[in-house]
C-alpha cells in the first residue's frame, strides 16, 4: 500500500511540474487515501501540503487553506517541525492571496517562534523578511524596521563571526537584500570575494579589511564607506561612487573608470597599474599612494594631495591638475613638473 502511495505521490509531482494540475490533484488525493489507511501521518501531511499547492494552482485558495490547516494539525500532532513550518508558511502565503494580512502576520509570527525554538537562523530570517514585507505594504514602518533589525542581529550572531565564504548567499537566505540592506552595516572583514554588488547601496558601510577581490561593484554607492585595508584587487568599480570613502591602505589594483573618488582618503593605498580614466579625484588625499603605472587619462585631480605619491610610469594626459599639490614625488621629471605647473598644479 505504501509503495502504491509513494508512486502516486511521485506521479503527482511529475504531473504538477508538467502543469497537468487536475491529474496531479487526482494522484495526490489517491495517495492521501492510501497513507491515511496505512496510518502514515507524516506522508499524509506531505500529500496534504501538495494538495494545497495544486489548489492554489487551480485558483482555489480557500480549498488550499483547508488542506494546509489539516497539514498543520497533523504536523503538530506527530511533532514534525519541518512539516509544521512548511504548513505555516503556506498558510501565510495563501492568506495574503485573499488579502488577509492579519492572518498572514499571525501565521508568520508562529513560524518565527517555531524557528527560534529550533535555533534555525535561516528560517527566522525568512519569516522576518516576510513579516517585514507585509508591514512595509501596510505602511507600518516601525514594525518593518524592527523586523529588519532582528534580521541583522541574526546575521551578526551567525554569519559575521564565522567569516563564512558564502556570506552573500547566506545573507540572502536570511531574507536580506544586499542591494539595499547593507547600507550602514558593520561588515568588517567579511568575505565578499566574487560577490555581485553592482548598483548596491553601501553608503557608510564598514567594510574595513573586507575581501572584495573580483567583486562586481559597478555603479555601487559607497559614499563615506570604510574600506580601509580592504582587498579590491581586480574588482569592477566602474562608475562607482566612493566620494569621501576611507580607502587608506586598500588594495585597489583594479579598474575604476569614471568612479567618483572626490574627497576620498587613499593614504598608502595600492593603485599600481590601476585603470583610472576619467576618474574624479578632486580633493582626494593620495599621500604615499602607489600610482605606479596607473592610467589617469582625463582624470580630475583638482585640489588633490599627492604627497610622497609613487608616480613612476603614470599617465596624466588630459588630467585636470588645477591646484593639485605635488610634493616629494621623485618619479616626476623636471619637464613633467613644468608641464604640470603650466596646467595649474602646485609643485613643492
74 vs 43, 53, 93, 164, 342, CA distance in Å?
10, 17, 19, 37, 84
Banded pLDDT at 2 (limits 50, 70, 90): confident
Q: pLDDT averaged over the chain?
A: 95
Instruction: Tell me the pLDDT tens digit for each residue of 330-346.
Output: 999 999 999 999 999 99
pLDDT score of 162 more than 80:
no
Residue 233 cell numbers, joined: 584587487
The stretch 7-16 carries a mean pLDDT of 95
The answer to whether 290 touches 310, Cβ cutoff 8 Å, is yes
Residue recorded with cell 599600481: 272
CATH architecture of 2-118: Alpha Horseshoe (1.25)
Instruction: Quote the pLDDT of residue 163.
Output: 62
Choose among 296, 268, 300, 257: nearest CA to 282. 300
SS3 276: coil
32 Cα distance to chain centroid: 40
pTM: 0.84
Tell me the mean pLDDT in the region 257-280: 98
The grid coordinates listed for 142 are 516601525
Q: For 118-140, where are the alpha helices, taking DSSP H only?
A: 121-138
Cell of 226: 570604510
SS3 content of the chain, % helix, strand, coil (to 5): 45, 10, 45
Query: For residue 306, what is the enclosing H or E element?
Result: strand 305-307
Measured CA to CA, the distance from residue 288 to residue 171 in angstroms comes to 36
pLDDT at residue 233 in the model:
97
| Distant-in-sequence contacts of 73-78, Cβ < 8 A, 24+ apart | 74/41, 74/42, 74/44, 74/45, 74/48, 75/45, 77/41, 78/41, 78/42, 78/45
* Least trusted range by pLDDT, from 153-157, 218-222, 269-273: 153-157
Amino acid at each position: 500500500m505504501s509503495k502504491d502511495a509513494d508512486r502516486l505521490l511521485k506521479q503527482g509531482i511529475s504531473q504538477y511540474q508538467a502543469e497537468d494540475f487536475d491529474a496531479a490533484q487526482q494522484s495526490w488525493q489517491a495517495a492521501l487515501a492510501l497513507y491515511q489507511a496505512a496510518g502514515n501521518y507524516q506522508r499524509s501531511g506531505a500529500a496534504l501540503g501538495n494538495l494545497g499547492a495544486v489548489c492554489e494552482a487551480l485558483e482555489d485558495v480557500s480549498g488550499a487553506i483547508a488542506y494546509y490547516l489539516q497539514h498543520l494539525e497533523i504536523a503538530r500532532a506527530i511533532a514534525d517541525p519541518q512539516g509544521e513550518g512548511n504548513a505555516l508558511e503556506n498558510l501565510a502565503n495563501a492568506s495574503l492571496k485573499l488579502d488577509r494580512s492579519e492572518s498572514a502576520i499571525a501565521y508568520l509570527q508562529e513560524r518565527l517562534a517555531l524557528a527560534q525554538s529550533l535555533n534555525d537562523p535561516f528560517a527566522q530570517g525568512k519569516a522576518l523578511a516576510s513579516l517585514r514585507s507585509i508591514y512595509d505594504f501596510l505602511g507600518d514602518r516601525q514594525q518593518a524596521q524592527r523586523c529588519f533589525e532582528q534580521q541583522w542581529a541574526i546575521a551578526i550572531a551567525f554569519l559575521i563571526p564565522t567569516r563564512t565564504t558564502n556570506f552573500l548567499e547566506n545573507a540572502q537566505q536570511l531574507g536580506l537584500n544586499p542591494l539595499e540592506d547593507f547600507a550602514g552595516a558593520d561588515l568588517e572583514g567579511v568575505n565578499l570575494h566574487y560577490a555581485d554588488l553592482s548598483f548596491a547601496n553601501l553608503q557608510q558601510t564598514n567594510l574595513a579589511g573586507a575581501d572584495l577581490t573580483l567583486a562586481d561593484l559597478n555603479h555601487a554607492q559607497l559614499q563615506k564607506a570604510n574600506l580601509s585595508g580592504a582587498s579590491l584587487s581586480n574588482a569592477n568599480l566602474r562608475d562607482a561612487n566612493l566620494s569621501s570613502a576611507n580607502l587608506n591602505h586598500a588594495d585597489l589594483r583594479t579598474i575604476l573608470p569614471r568612479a567618483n573618488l572626490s574627497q576620498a582618503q587613499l593614504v598608502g593605498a595600492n593603485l599600481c597599474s590601476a585603470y583610472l580614466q576619467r576618474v574624479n579625484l578632486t580633493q582626494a588625499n593620495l599621500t604615499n599612494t602607489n600610482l605606479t603605472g596607473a592610467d589617469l587619462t582625463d582624470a580630475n585631480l583638482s585640489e588633490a594631495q599627492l604627497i610622497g605619491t609613487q608616480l613612476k610610469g603614470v599617465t596624466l594626459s588630459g588630467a585636470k591638475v588645477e591646484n593639485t599639490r605635488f610634493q616629494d614625488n621623485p618619479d616626476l621629471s623636471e619637464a613633467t613638473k613644468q608641464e604640470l605647473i603650466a596646467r595649474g598644479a602646485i609643485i613643492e
